[in-house]
Amino acid sequence: MDRIRIVGGNTLNGTIPISGAKNAALPLMIASLLTEETLSLENVPHLADVEQLIRILGNHGADYSVNGRREQQNSLYARTVNFTARNIVDTTAPYELVSKMRASFWVIGPLLARMGEARVSLPGGCAIGTRPVDLFIDGLRQLGAEIEIEQGYAHARAPKGLIGDRYVFPKVSVGATHVLMMAATLAKGQTVLENAAREPEVVNLAECLNAMGAKVSGAGTSTITIDGVTSLHGATHQVIPDRIETGTYAMAVAMTGGDVVLEGARADLLESALDALAQAGVEVTPLNSGIRIRRNGAGILPVDITTEPFPGFPTDLQAQFMGLMTMAQGRSRITETIFENRFMHVQELARLGAKISLAGQTAIVDGVSQLKGAPVMATDLRASVSLVIAGLAAEGETIVNRVYHLDRGFERLEEKLSACGATIERLSS
């Protein structure tokens, strides 16, 4: 199993290109199941989760190509990937595929809307909490689907098609918003989704659906209206830049000092996180080409944050910000409100010398003047990169184990950081 070796102490200077957003690419890829024509997606990142979803879509009969040819496994750069689901050959998403990636459950919406039936394995829990799919099922039932849970599968039927209706989410859910928005595009009549997720990835999906002939309005607000159409067609659409990758590298620069331009990043996608960095004493400058992050000389100031749905502070940047606060000049409080059990990185940061105590859903971080390198273990995607951030500033060598988590969400991480002066390398087992 691969590991990452880091020797800390170097400042970061230069340019880091920001990849397409994984959390936007996945629902866009799934939207290809809604039409028999080709959906071409630009700026698709090369990540383990993307490759897994390509396999899942292939199981349903979707073909794909990259720039007119079959995917090359050693491709390292942003790609245009073409998906064509002309014939859906199987409406079952089996456990052995869905269990490897929760987002693959989302195929239930497009399959049900287009084919009138879908049988999708329940994804089960994950390292950061249970994240149940009850909102997905309740919402689809509101649109007229008959859904039975049997032998670990959600078996959904709508033989006469879905019927538009009003659905109020009991709590904000990005995944359920994606699924119901996709399903409603082919429903008869109008669907109104209230208390919907407002994340940029939801807006990106809505824009793609509209390019395919859907009638979606209100994305980016808490009320989304979808007027159903009889069919969708092909389109070309671009994946937005990854706001979580942007925030992660911004925090790495804040942690180590230096001056880096995050090329292609969009400040409007993560204003809350950038505001927190500014409060910590980091210079944040939006540019036409991206965002400039600079911290030279001054120490890191402590900042309290609470994770919230967009436009609040993203839960997917909580671990990284905690890594930054481990060397702040004082005490900070980090409260997690989105997922239970998302503080597993605390014990690993403590191995590097961090001083963190937990009080319910709040982590109290007392900054230290210096971290010390040590072997650490990645527990999930975002936790793993928080250890990289801490390791970049730690004295001596840090070895991050189980880095397959990183490969799910960060494209060419070692290459991007080393190009800016970090001493970081992958050790293959």
> What stretch of H or E contains 14?
strand 12-17
The span from the CA of 261 to the CA of 292, in Å, is 4
- For 92-194, where are the E strands, in sequence order? 92-93, 117-121, 146-150, 153-157, 166-168, 190-194
Query: Does the annotation flag 215 for ligand binding?
Result: no
Position 248, amino acid: T
The span from the CA of 125 to the CA of 342, in Å, is 13
Query: Does the annotation flag 324 for ligand binding?
Result: no
Query: Does the annotation flag 133 for ligand binding?
Result: yes
Q: What angle do CA 144, 148, 152 make, to 5 degrees?
A: 140
Residue bearing tokens 């036409």:
288
Query: Does the annotation flag 65 for ligand binding?
Result: no
**Residue 122 in 3-state DSSP?**
coil
Query: Does the annotation flag 119 for ligand binding?
Result: no
Q: How far is CA 11 from CA 68, 215, 389, 418, in A?
A: 41, 48, 12, 11
> What stretch of H or E contains 96?
helix 95-98
Residue bearing tokens 């060419």:
412
Query: Does the annotation flag 134 for ligand binding?
Result: yes
| Tokens linked to 158 | 């709508």
Query: Does the annotation flag 108 for ligand binding?
Result: no
Catalytic residues: 126
**Residue 381 in 3-state DSSP?**
helix
Full 3-state SS string of 340-376: CCCCCHHHHHHHCCCEEEEECCEEEEECCCCCECCEE
Query: Does the annotation flag 372 for ligand binding?
Result: no
| Tokens linked to 4 | 């990452």
Query: Does the annotation flag 338 for ligand binding?
Result: yes
Query: Does the annotation flag 135 for ligand binding?
Result: yes
Query: Does the annotation flag 174 for ligand binding?
Result: yes
Query: Does the annotation flag 173 for ligand binding?
Result: yes
Other Cβ atoms closer than 10 A to 374:
18
The span from the CA of 252 to the CA of 294, in Å, is 11
Annotated binding residues, written as ranges, equal 22-23, 102, 131-135, 171-174, 316, 338
Residues annotated within the binding site for UDP-N-acetyl-alpha-D-glucosamine are 102, 131-135, 171-174, 316, 338
Which residues participate in the annotated binding site for phosphoenolpyruvate?
Answer: 22-23
